[in-house]
Structure 1
């Protein structure tokens, strides 16, 4: 296969990193963090994010959180009623992989559509496994902790305009079994928008809205559980060598403590795994130096920025961490906005 005249499928097995996990476990953030250390581009593998629109309820990563890292296959399907088949998914992802490799970059495939990811990797027709060397990272969060966070995140999404976003796409009698309207957040609000259109009493509409938001939370938790079970099946029954990264402690804490847990418990081990996979020992050593400098407090800028960002505040949804590594001539910007 060739892409723009570049033969990317040679005798050499190209390397690919997959970042997997249940919804809301920090997959997007980890993929961007990895891409700031290794020359990489990110390929979306969440099938509902292939569709254009509904950016809030589908949790598409925004431009600022991408931090300049190229992202592919976000919002590429413009027909809201089109059904993305597993075959179409695999074809689009393979083309994106070829495109990234042609530029000499590492493809990082990130998303939670595990059935489609399995179809891609285990495809006997394309023989994906024989052509690519895969590294699977699994961001995991204990389900009780994740459920609590999901409820908070849905509330934040409502504040960001979830209801208004879905209202713009509301069509009476729409088929919620097709296309982007399958996204959690759309069918749950159908009764509310119907009541709104029929000018029902405010109390009745408010009750429907509260019920719809509660249903969004419940269905998102059910999705997380299904994804959790699928990942276990891929590991235990199919035999995928998944590297489990336990991010539970990040979600149990806030502010600076959560940032430290992310760096030491999630980012550092992930960089080590990917560094060894790519045989990039220099990157591993760089991370070790960064962590050491951070813990020794050798940068006055860190203390100033810590005060500026008020890391000690009790912010369960988002927080920022900016660390200036003067001695390395490197600035790493961690801005939390869980997607």
Structure 2
């Protein structure tokens, strides 16, 4: 058995993982790409030693700032070994983090397509065309995949068309074949899926101020000092003729890039920065951190809805193992999150019947399956039922 805790930043994933680990003799595996890096506990929002409550945490503080960023295969290989080690001690592995393509790598084995190295776009000239041209072609050759993606999501549209160009077959057909093969290998009888997933969800209007408040707490805890240390690391590398690639790895973490203009101005000695200008740069940088954090939370939720859930739907019985837990009201944490999760986990480990996911919380019923609807009046395309309902009620509509 393997337990996954999913969700966007600020929803309480780490707290739930620790709670389950304390109750069920578990150990936690980090699946957050930024928390892999050593140090920088504030900017990467690492759970503190006190909050870990003595529970072993793996793949946390694992690689150096200058180490090559991990790709999915690096994470899958390391996490698989850690899972084996935890099980060998008779303990329960619990995977938690917000880098959900890491999660997908452990949940799903799509070696025919996703395990292949992507070809450069120069191999297929159409992939360099405007997005609407690529989408039009995808609709011709693979309407199933074309209907899955938002018309502006160039990366996913391009990848789906690339699969067709590379293999000569629609990606949707390849995925369906993989599904049939899995079922055939099981002798026609689908074996129990040994994964349990908790999606920790907070309503957006409650999450936004919560995330803003967390940035304020990070500032009080020493965010500026930590980003200044990162900036000094950059300057040392630059002085040694080893410039840092700011588009990769830890340098893409929310906090550093937003505050970099302030850090450069405050470190300049010729001429000294104007205090008023410095204060303005710091204020605008912190506001940018808050905006980026809110945007990232939306991105994480959208990834679960459009990338994790569709694959679960393709795996027989998997959706019955996905439970949405509502952390909107933190005063009801035990009642709405910790105790229901513990009860479900206890039944899961005992092989007992699990409750219907929709019966666990109202939030489960609101996280609808992906769809694609376009409002002809507004020209807006939505890729989930939830976002469609919100659009219909919006001021814009």
The answer to whether the superposition gives a TM-score over 0.5 is yes
TM-score by length of 1: 0.72
Per the alignment, residue 182 of structure 1 pairs with 252
Separation in 1, partners of 2:245, 2:278: 22
- Tell which structure's C-alpha radius of gyration is larger: 2
Per the alignment, residue 195 of structure 1 pairs with 265
Q: Which has the higher strand share?
A: 1
Task: Determine helix, strand or coil for the equivalent of 1:248.
Answer: coil
What is the number of equivalent residue pairs in this alignment? 257
Per the alignment, residue 50 of structure 1 pairs with 36
Per the alignment, residue 214 of structure 1 pairs with 287
Deviations 1:201-260 (A, max 9, x none): 11111111111110111001111001101111245422252210011111xxxxxxx1xx
Structure 1 residue 244 corresponds to structure 2 residue 305: no
1:101-250 superposed matches below 5 A: 101-125=87-111, 133-170=194-231, 171-172=234-235, 174-198=244-268, 199-234=272-307, 236-238=309-311, 239=313, 240-241=318-319, 242-250=322-330
Give the alignment's Cα RMSD to 1 decimal. Answer: 2.0
Give the conservation status (yes or no) of the 8 Å contact 2:3–2:94. yes
Task: Determine helix, strand or coil for the equivalent of 1:184.
Answer: coil
Give the conservation status (yes or no) of the 8 Å contact 2:104–2:308. no
Separation in 2, partners of 1:200, 1:279: 64
Structure 1 residue 82 corresponds to structure 2 residue 68: yes
TM-score by length of 2: 0.62
Give the conservation status (yes or no) of the 8 Å contact 1:80–1:181. no
Q: Please list every run of 5 or more consecutive structure 2 residues that lacks an aligned counterpart in the other structure.
A: 116-177, 183-190, 236-242, 353-397
Give the conservation status (yes or no) of the 8 Å contact 1:41–1:108. yes
Task: Determine helix, strand or coil for the equivalent of 2:194.
Answer: strand
Separation in 2, partners of 1:70, 1:62: 12
Per the alignment, residue 39 of structure 1 pairs with 25
Structure 1 residue 20 corresponds to structure 2 residue 6: yes
Give the conservation status (yes or no) of the 8 Å contact 1:139–1:245. yes
Deviation at 1:81? 4.8
Per the alignment, residue 348 of structure 2 pairs with 277
Q: Please list every run of 5 or more consecutive structure 1 residues that lacks an aligned counterpart in the other structure.
A: 1-14, 251-257, 282-339
Per the alignment, residue 336 of structure 2 pairs with 265
Separation in 2, partners of 1:235, 1:71: 24
